[in-house]
Amino acid sequence: MFDCQLGHYLTYHHVSQDFFRRHRGKYDGLIVPLSIACVFKQGTGGFVLTLNKQYALDPRTPILQADFDRQSIRRAHLEIADVHGTAVRHIFASRPLRPADVSPLAADVAASVLSFQKEFAEQSAEKVDKYAALLGEEVRTAYGGPHFLVPPYFKSSGRNDAWYPVSLNLARAAVHEKENYGLAPVLHITPGFPENEFARMAEDYDNRGFDGLVIFINDLQEYIAPSATLTKYANLIALLQGLGKPLFGLFGGYFTLLLRKIGLGCFSNAVGYGEYRDSGYHEGGQAVRRYYIPKLHRYFTDTHAETLLNIVGGTVLRCACAVCRRRRPLTDYTSQELLDHFLNARLTELQHAGATDLSELLDQLDDTREALENYPMLIDPCSHLGRWVEALRPFGKRLART
């Protein structure tokens, strides 16, 4: 189900429609957050449908379990609650949801969230004409539904966490509502979820009604996470791969991209920001101008990235994509150019990783790290490379043996 050409989805954002249109060939599909699908329903639907890419809607349910000041609830979050049903909406307006609130409602909540996803295409038809005209395409009589359905899900820190069975029950309830669609429940866990419970979790989700599994480690910042956490993540992927179901990584950067070598089918990230996410984050905010350094496989603020390139000099860290070919300070790039550059870099990474075995990819990370060892003040910006290698090297060796 997630066995896509590139293995890469982008998280849709309504302010970057032109970007998604111009780069249509550089990603497989879109993950549309329910918040955006609700608040900008016609615009989002019209745009996404006429784009003719695979898409799925992320219910973003965990915001409903987040504890924050109820005075500052955003409209988008109220709309998310609405989609989960009247009872949920009523509770969420005054306090965070508790497992006991949702358990008795599991069937209704799952049905309501899946209905929204199944009806998204037909209810978004009003603006299809506008977007089809922008794309220079004829309006079709009918546009397809999502590539797969995503049941509502909650974050849990272990199998003993009271939210864990709630998510599992929601996924099971969703099986009865999926009709002819593919269904992919989200295993949304904290980085501290005990590794010795992974096998039982895999058994829990070994359900014939689940056509694929989405893995979402909360707030996993790959370039900061210790190698033990990254190893755990890789072990989870390797274990789940044994179920024979397609696997999708919701949010991730280059480390997650490398997990495609050990069984992950596809992964997604937002453009310019959003390679990780805290599902309980309830505030908005302005995006920081960031530049992706392909050789280091991570973002930096534009001033930070410019400093790195200047310190190292030469072409070691320089990107040769169409945007970067014309040499100028990164701080002079427009916001659009920063995004364009990122997607060019990500495409190159995907293609390169697709044609190279894991051990060699890890050797390349090691080479970069060693090349920068002469610069003691670069230890911090580059330290993630060593941790990624440490976490994945055993898999590289295993793959080489087979």
Partner 1 sequence: MKNQGLPSRPLREEELRVPVQKLFPSELYFCKNEVPFGLKRIDLLFRKRSNGQEIVAVELKLRDWKKAVWQAASNRQVAAYSYVALPSASAAAIDRRLMVSLGLGLIIADPADDARIVLRAKRSRYVNRRIATEISSLLTGY
Interacting residues toward partner 1 by CB under 8 A? 288, 301-304, 306-307, 310-311, 329, 331-332, 375-379
Residue 355 makes CB contacts below 8 A (sequence gap 6+) with: none
Task: State the nearest-atom distance from the C-beta of 377 to partner 1, in Å.
Answer: 4
The number of helices, as runs of H, and strands, as runs of E, in the chain is 16, 11
Of 58 and 302, which has the nearer Cβ to partner 1?
302
Task: State the nearest-atom distance from the C-beta of 376 to partner 1, in Å.
Answer: 5
The strand pair at 213-217 and 54-58 is best described as unpaired
For residue 151, give both structure tokens.
């049941």
Task: State the nearest-atom distance from the C-beta of 144 to partner 1, in Å.
Answer: 43
Of 103 and 307, which has the nearer Cβ to partner 1?
307
Give the residue from 301, 311, 299 showing the smallest Cα distance to 345: 299
Task: State the nearest-atom distance from the C-beta of 339 to partner 1, in Å.
Answer: 19
Q: Where are the alpha helices (DSSP H) in 62-127?
A: 75-83, 86-92, 99-102, 106-123
Task: State the nearest-atom distance from the C-beta of 383 to partner 1, in Å.
Answer: 13
Give the residue from 124, 115, 105 showing the smallest Cα distance to 178: 115
| Contact indicator for 185, 173 with CB cutoff of 8 Å | no
Of 281 and 375, which has the nearer Cβ to partner 1?
375
Of 257 and 330, which has the nearer Cβ to partner 1?
330
Task: State the nearest-atom distance from the C-beta of 324 to partner 1, in Å.
Answer: 16
Task: State the nearest-atom distance from the C-beta of 270 to partner 1, in Å.
Answer: 20
| Contact indicator for 235, 195 with CB cutoff of 8 Å | yes
Of 138 and 380, which has the nearer Cβ to partner 1?
380
Of 208 and 326, which has the nearer Cβ to partner 1?
326
Of 162 and 379, which has the nearer Cβ to partner 1?
379
Integer Cα distance of 360 and 354 in angstroms: 12
The dihedral of CA 1, 344, 275, 398: what is its sign? positive
Q: Which residues of 307-346 are buried (b: 16+ CB within 10 A; e: fewer)?
A: bbbeebeeeebebeeebbeeeeebeebeeebbbbbbbbbb
